[in-house]
Amino acid sequence: MITLLKKLFGKTSSTDFATLIEEGAIILDVRTRNEYAAGHVKNSLNIPLNELPAQLKKLKKEKTIITCCASGMRSASAKNVLQSNGFTAYNGGSWVSLKKYGR
């Protein structure tokens, strides 16, 4: 069951977020602007999930993107939107779990 959930939501324990970020990955927070303002990963980019399809031009396909939100649900949807548009994307889950990677 856990493996199925990880596959569905795109978050695997083998994803090395620290290395991805060291190599230049962007952390994309897809929470609302108010949620982001209340706390976020330092130097992350905020594009709310409902605005993401219209804002894809703000992102570079050459950059790996790690999505995050409050729990991992919206970030899973964002990862799927990005991948279906040719981006390399990973679901980072909760922004709190990625907070230690802020630069």
pLDDT in tens, 33-47: 999 999 999 999 999
pTM: 0.86
Which residues, other chains included, contact 3 with Cβ-Cβ below 8 Å and sequence gap of 6+?
A: none
Closest by CA to 30, choosing from 95, 100, 103, is: 95
> What confidence tens digit (pLDDT) does each residue in 7-24 have?
555 554 578 999 999 999
Structural domains in the chain?
Answer: 2-101 (3.40.250.10)
Could you tell me the CA-to-CA distances from 86 to 81, 89, 95 in Å, in that order? 9, 9, 23
